[in-house]
Amino acid sequence: MKENFDNIIWNEIDEPNIHENMLFAIRNLASDDRDIREECLWDLFGCIYHQGSLAPRAGFAVPFLIARLQQETEPI
C-alpha cells in the first residue's frame, strides 16, 4: 500500500506532509487497540474533510481507505 501511496505526487495536490498523517491513520485503522483505531479514524476524517469541505486529497485517499477496510476483521 505504501508504494502506491508514495507514487502520488502529493506536493502538487496538497499541503506538504499531510499525506504522511493520512497514511499513518489508514495503516493504524487495523490496530489491535480500539482506542487507536478510533483516534486514527478521527484523524483521517480531519485530513479528508477540512473546514467544512472535502480537501483535494480526499479522492486520492479513498482507494487506500477502502483497501484497509476490506482487511478489517473487527469494526472500527
- 3-state SS, the chain, equals CHHHHHHCCHHHCCCCCHHHHHHHHHHHCCCCCHHHHHHHHHHHHHHHEECCEECCCHHHHHHHHHHHHHHCCCCC
Q: State residue 35's pLDDT score.
A: 94
pLDDT band with cut points at 50, 70 and 90 for residue 10: low
Rounded to two decimals, the pTM is 0.66
Please write the tens of the pLDDT for every residue from 36-74.
989 998 998 888 887 888 887 788 788 877 887 787 666
Q: State residue 3's pLDDT score.
A: 63
Checking if the pLDDT of 25 tops 60, the result is yes
Q: How does the average pLDDT of the chain come out, rounded?
A: 78
Please state, in angstroms and as integers, the Cα–Cα distance from residue 65 to each residue in 5, 23, 76, following that order. 11, 9, 12
